[in-house]
Amino acid sequence: MPKKDLENDESTLDRLTRLGKKLRNQLEDSEEDDLTIDTQVRSKTNVEYDEEEGRLSLGDSYSTRKFLNISHARKFMQTTLVANKTKELVENGRTASIREVYYQLKHSVPGLDENTFEDQDESNNVVVDIETATGAIREDLHLFAEPKGRLFGPITINDSGDSIDCMAMGTSGLAIPSIVDHYEFEEHSADFILVVETSAMVNRLVEEDFHKEHNVILIGTGGQPARGARRLINIMHNRLDLPVYVFTDGDPWGYYIYSVLKSGSMSLAFQSDRLATPDAKLIGMTMEDIDAYDLHHVTEDLKGKPEDSGGPTKDFKRIRDVMDYEWMQKDEWQNQFQKMLDKGVRVEQQALASQSLQFVANEYLPKKIEQDQFLD
């Protein structure tokens, strides 16, 4: 069942071919005294927040791998091996895991007492090098990662020729794969996309028929979203022009999930335009919900030590980290974190069950949407 996304595949082949040609030209040009690949520096120092676009991106620092430098020769060989293998995958309409690529390429180098790769970390790093050298991301290179997440709602998705009615998936849902670029959205009657942090809350909303009664595409990420889910939210938002609301726990971990969905992550900053959705808004939980819905007896105390008594550690440290990020400087976000610190508590999605199991679906979410109560 080879995946076809011909336009994108051609662009990827073009990028890989350009990389190869550049190397060949360097080899043939006697003026050149070295053989190099330029890759963007991906460390924290080169990550920037683009306020206009509302997402993270990489800055202008490049590092150059030199073939004739003995310490880079091995990595250079690996880079060309992996680039060649991914070209083969794209040409043949196949996908592979990074682990399979590693095993396909692991062999001893003829004439040398050396293996092409010693362990998988080596090939993993090389894949990221190729991503930043060519501008093609992992999914473009037909390499898949661990899938995670489920989807329910009023949309029919064509996946590799199969037409899947996501409204008729019972309590199970569609498993979101790690590559979703080939998805075709055949028809839908959705009003918005609701991204939900915990599996338990997805179960609750499905059990209450929230996706049916409010025309919602429900995406459960099962904690920190995998690449496939992040890419899916991005392409659904862009292709279908649907608002994206994110529903997490009211704690620094949940708000960080929101920030990754909205602005991207530092480690994948070079892919934010594909993986992030700057228009996403947070629907809850907020610190104000504790008063508004009388949740005082079902908050959880922050774990760890605050700053003024030997900390910050654990939750306190995490709050401090996240509230220091450049893209979390808006007043409304700083307020949330400050209230969290002042009250010394966090509040989970499931705490809404203290009102009733149905409360989240029948009152909490509809009211927030109706009254346009979002954090942005």
State the DSSP code for 303.
Answer: P
Among 16, 126, 130, 179, the residue binding its own copies under the rule CB under 8 A is 179
Q: Does 354 participate in binding its own copies (rule CB under 8 A)?
A: yes
Sole window of 62-70, 89-97, 121-129, 265-273 interacting with its own copies (rule: CB under 8 A): 89-97
Among 49, 62, 102, 103, which one carries the catalytic annotation?
103
- Is residue 218 within 8 Å of 199, Cβ to Cβ? no
> For 246, phi and psi rounded to 5 degrees?
-110, 130
Q: Does 77 participate in binding its own copies (rule CB under 8 A)?
A: no
* Binding-site size, its own copies (CB under 8 A): 62
Q: Does 86 participate in binding its own copies (rule CB under 8 A)?
A: no
**Least Å from the CB of residue 348 to its own copies:** 7
How far from 193 is each of 154, 206, 218, 354, CA to CA, in Å?
10, 14, 6, 26
Task: Report the Cα–Cα distance between both ends of the chain, in Å, rounded.
Answer: 41
How far from 72 is each of 18, 115, 160, CA to CA, in Å?
21, 15, 40
Q: Does 224 participate in binding its own copies (rule CB under 8 A)?
A: no
Q: Which residue has 């309590």 as its token pair?
A: 171
Residues 183-202, mask of contacts with its own copies (x by CB under 8 A):
----------------xx--
Sole window of 128-136, 189-197, 313-321, 352-360 interacting with its own copies (rule: CB under 8 A): 352-360
- Whichever of 283 and 352 has its CB closer to its own copies, that residue is 352
**Least Å from the CB of residue 159 to its own copies:** 3
Catalytic residue at 103?
yes
Q: How far apart are CA 196 and CA 219, in angstroms?
A: 6
Q: Does 110 participate in binding its own copies (rule CB under 8 A)?
A: no
- Whichever of 187 and 321 has its CB closer to its own copies, that residue is 187
Tell me the one-letter amino acid at 337: F
Residue 292, SS3 per DSSP: helix
* Ranges within 117-136 binding its own copies (CB under 8 A): 119
Q: Does 100 participate in binding its own copies (rule CB under 8 A)?
A: yes
Residue 145, SS3 per DSSP: coil
Among 46, 123, 132, 178, the residue binding its own copies under the rule CB under 8 A is 178
- Is residue 83 within 8 Å of 127, Cβ to Cβ? no
**Least Å from the CB of residue 353 to its own copies:** 4
Sole window of 178-186, 187-195, 256-264, 321-329 interacting with its own copies (rule: CB under 8 A): 178-186
User: Helices marked H in the chain — which ranges?
Assistant: 6-28, 70-91, 98-105, 120-134, 199-207, 210-213, 227-240, 252-263, 272-275, 287-292, 314-324, 331-343, 359, 365-370
Residue 310, SS3 per DSSP: coil
- Whichever of 58 and 226 has its CB closer to its own copies, that residue is 226
- Whichever of 160 and 338 has its CB closer to its own copies, that residue is 160
**Least Å from the CB of residue 330 to its own copies:** 30
- Is residue 195 within 8 Å of 233, Cβ to Cβ? yes
Residues 356-375, mask of contacts with its own copies (x by CB under 8 A):
-x------------------
Q: Does 97 participate in binding its own copies (rule CB under 8 A)?
A: yes
- Is residue 114 within 8 Å of 108, Cβ to Cβ? yes
Burial group, residue 130, by CB count within 10 angstroms (0-12, 13-18, 19+): buried
**Least Å from the CB of residue 59 to its own copies:** 33
- Is residue 127 within 8 Å of 138, Cβ to Cβ? yes
Sole window of 56-64, 93-101, 275-283, 308-316 interacting with its own copies (rule: CB under 8 A): 93-101
Q: Which residues contact 14 (CB under 8 A, 6 or more apart)?
A: none
* Ranges within 133-152 binding its own copies (CB under 8 A): 144, 146-147, 150
- Is residue 127 within 8 Å of 98, Cβ to Cβ? yes
Binding site for its own copies (CB under 8 A): 1-3, 94-97, 99-104, 106-108, 115, 119, 144, 146-147, 150, 157-164, 168-179, 182, 199-200, 203-204, 206-209, 222, 297-298, 300, 348, 350-354, 357
User: Catalytic amino acids?
Assistant: 103
